[in-house]
A = this chain, B = another copy of it.
Amino acid sequence: MIKLGLIGFGYWGPNLVRNFSVQKDVLVTAIAEAKLERHVQISKGYPGTLIYTNSSDLINNLEVDAIVVATPVFSHYKLAKEALLAGKHVLLEKPMTSSVDESKELIDIAKKKNLVLMVDHTFLYTGAVQKMKELIDQKQLGKLQYFDSTRINLGLFQPDVNALWDLAPHDISILNYLVNNKPYSVNSTGVSHTNNGIENVAFMTVNYQDDFIAHFNCSWTSPVKVRSTLIGGDSKMLVYNDLEPSEKIRVYDTGYYHSSDEEKNKIMVDYRTGDVFIPKLSTQEALYGVALDFIESILYSKVPLANAEIGLEVVKVLEASQKSIKNKGKEIII
């Protein structure tokens, strides 16, 4: 029986507790929350749970085996470090930390202490992403060529991070999970329409050393909500539309063949369009999968899907995008 503590019972914390509570082999033992007015809600919903105001008290509780950190991103590094040093397994909300160096240090500590360090990239556990992973691993799309994501809507403006830090982590983690390829560099542009200089519209290209390319379009100021990703391979292509209630993935048996003739510069292209296939997806709640994976990784010493390396990759891309945006779109090597 793993004894679990949660730090941060704000927007996402209750969802985490709910999904951990229904797992077997887990007992949610303690919750730390700085705001006292939330303590009543905790004691009502989870009567037997210890409630702390101070996170260090929870971390120092010797009974606790594993800690979930659901606080704002700037505090992730400090809390996770403290927890790891106290010998606890750690699940961090996304993005992992505010900088690459912080993420790397946490990974090092976790390795040395042989602890599970995982990041809550929830989307990896959705039926849609699992199905895309399956299709890509089966080579149904062929060699991957591009990943083009649009995640735009009206609001909510974040006060401290731009639209890419806010909206792109989901898509970057999906990209990293699906594509067996390391990003090489990042170009990013954007604009702020408020006087705090934080970009509410931003674009990013992630370049690879072969001819794969990824692109991200993020905005807090679109009149329409779009959650759409195109993934192209040299055999098939797919569209992932997360706003569709059930038909989120459409696989197109579409492509082209090109051949050169003698003159080097002339290419001949043959197009092909075929059937479209909309696979049925698992409807299990993604966060249930996150909780289960964290628990099983601890119990069976396995590497979780949403492991710290993916968390680090996401932070690397975000940090590079910020440098690029501040350098007028210049390529930043990751």
Q: List the interface of chain A (C-beta within 8 A of B).
A: 145-146, 148, 150, 152, 154-157, 159-160, 185, 187, 189-196, 201, 203, 205, 207, 211-213, 215, 217, 219, 221-224, 230, 232, 234, 237-239, 246-247, 250, 252-254, 256, 258, 260, 264-267, 269, 271, 273-280, 328-331
Contact = CB atoms under 8 A, between A and B. Distances in A.
Given A196-B260, A222-B237, A254-B223, A187 B275 contact: no
Contacts of A239: 223-224
From A185, A246, A273, name the one whose CB has the most chain B CB atoms within 10 angstroms: A273
B203 A256 contact: no
A211 B191 contact: yes
Assembly stoichiometry (copies)? 4
A221 B267 contact: no
Given A224-B230, A224-B252, A189 B211 contact: no
Closest 10 CB pairs of A and B: A223-B252, A187-B329, A276-B278, A223-B237, A189-B205, A191-B213, A328-B331, A223-B254, A157-B269, A274-B280
Contacts of A252: 223-224
B211 A221 contact: no
Contact of A148 (B217, B269, B273): B217
Contact of A265 (B196, B207, B238): B196
B260 A154 contact: no
Given A221-B145, A252-B224, A159 B211 contact: no
Given A232-B222, A330-B330, A273 B254 contact: no
B190 A213 contact: yes
Contact of A217 (B217, B224, B274): B217
Contacts of A247: 276
B256 A221 contact: yes
Contacts of A254: 154, 223
24 contacts: A145-B193, A146-B191, A146-B201, A146-B221, A148-B222, A150-B150, A154-B271, A157-B267, A157-B269, A185-B328, A187-B328, A191-B212, A193-B234, A194-B269, A195-B264, A196-B267, A203-B203, A203-B205, A215-B217, A221-B232, A224-B230, A246-B273, A275-B278, A276-B277
